[in-house]
Chain A
Amino acid sequence: MNDAALKNFLTAGVPDSDSPFVFAVMKRIEQRRFLRELAQTAGLAAFAVTLLWLLAPMIEAAWQENFAPSSSNLVILLTLMGVSLVVPYLYRNEINQIL
């Protein structure tokens, strides 16, 4: 048996072209990327929740002390800001026609 025949023996059984295999590799790469990003997001979320939990007493105290008396004014202010941001977005076609 010469080297060419030996090479045939050693590489036997694997097709030259195997799209399902390539697809499986690319899918695995994508899954790995997704899991990594999910783990990062979950880690950040856990950190944020813990931080909020630790700071909650301070935030509550600050709220009661400084903002609670004027909370109704704050709600009105935030509502007006929200409306002013949303209305141009909802009616942008009409506004563009007028302009």
Chain B
Amino acid sequence: MIQDTAEPVLVARARAGSADAFGRLVHMHQQGLRAFLRRLGARDADDIAQETFVFAWEHIARFDSTRPFRPWLFGIAWRKFREGKRSWLRRLTRQGHATADMETAFQPDPGLKLDLTKALGDLSPEQKAALLLCLGCEFTHMEAAETLAMPLGTVKSHVARGREKLAVALGEHHE
């Protein structure tokens, strides 16, 4: 049973046309992907997340199954976020899946949260994306570089600078 739900098995089954297997992949990755898009500042994060999964389903035959699935999926989301506009087909099939209030589950300290949100807002989209992937989604630097189509050194630099800015924001909060 464990083997049946392992990601490579699900990906292989989805590539063979199993919608059920793909549904499980959506279930596995929806949290990380939606959080990534929301923290990037996407106004319609859940809509972009849905479009990402639809695109992944339609192009899963092109996916190189010897590579990890998550960077490929997040790479699609990143490109869709950058594109930033919807086609007529997307508008036509858009669901009324309203973006939930993201600030409800983790509220350690309203002041701290505001500082972190502000600090994230001050980062460039690339810095924010690299930081979110490496700290929020536990990507390796290499996976983040692949996802964002950036050189490894650039990603490392974005993460280091982003972490520094967050630390400064937190330091100011605690002073």
If A14-B38, A15-B31, A25-B26 touch, whether A8 touches B106 (CB-CB below 8 Å) is: yes
The size class of the interface chain A forms with chain B is 20 to 34
Chain A residues whose C-beta falls within 8 Å of the C-beta of B166 in the assembled complex: 6
A14–B35 contact, CB under 8 A?
A: yes
> Considering only CB atoms, which chain A residue lies closest to B131 in the complex?
A10
Binary contact track B19-56/A, C-beta < 8 Å → 1, others 0: 10011001100111011001100000010011101100
Q: 8 Å CB contacts to A: which residues of B129-147?
A: 132, 135-138
If A8-B106, A14-B35, A16-B31 touch, whether A29 touches B46 (CB-CB below 8 Å) is: no
A20 CA to B49 CA in the complex, in Å?
13
B89 on interface, CB distance cutoff 8 Å? yes
Binary contact track A14-25/B, C-beta < 8 Å → 1, others 0: 111111111011
Chain B residues whose C-beta falls within 8 Å of the C-beta of A17 in the assembled complex: 27
A25–B104 contact, CB under 8 A?
A: no
Q: Could you say which of B1-9, B91-99, B150-158 contacts chain A?
A: B91-99
How many A-B pairs have beta carbons closer than 8 Å: the answer is 102
Pull 7 A–B residue pairs with CB atoms less than 8 Å apart, ordered by A: A7-B136, A9-B113, A13-B35, A14-B100, A18-B31, A22-B23, A35-B92
Chain A residues whose C-beta falls within 8 Å of the C-beta of B58 in the assembled complex: 29, 32
Total count of chain B residues near the partner, CB < 8 A: 44
A28–B54 contact, CB under 8 A?
A: yes
B residues with CB within 8 A of A: 19, 22-23, 26-27, 30-32, 34-35, 38-39, 46, 49-51, 53-54, 57-58, 89, 92-93, 95, 97, 100-108, 112-113, 116, 132, 135-138, 166, 170
B93–A31 contact, CB under 8 A?
A: yes
A25 CA to B53 CA in the complex, in Å?
7
Chain A residues whose C-beta falls within 8 Å of the C-beta of B116 in the assembled complex: 9
Chain B residues whose C-beta falls within 8 Å of the C-beta of A8 in the assembled complex: 106
Q: 8 Å CB contacts to B: which residues of A22-40?
A: 22, 24-29, 31-32, 35
A7 CA to B132 CA in the complex, in Å?
8
A8 CA to B104 CA in the complex, in Å?
12
Chain A residues whose C-beta falls within 8 Å of the C-beta of B22 in the assembled complex: 26
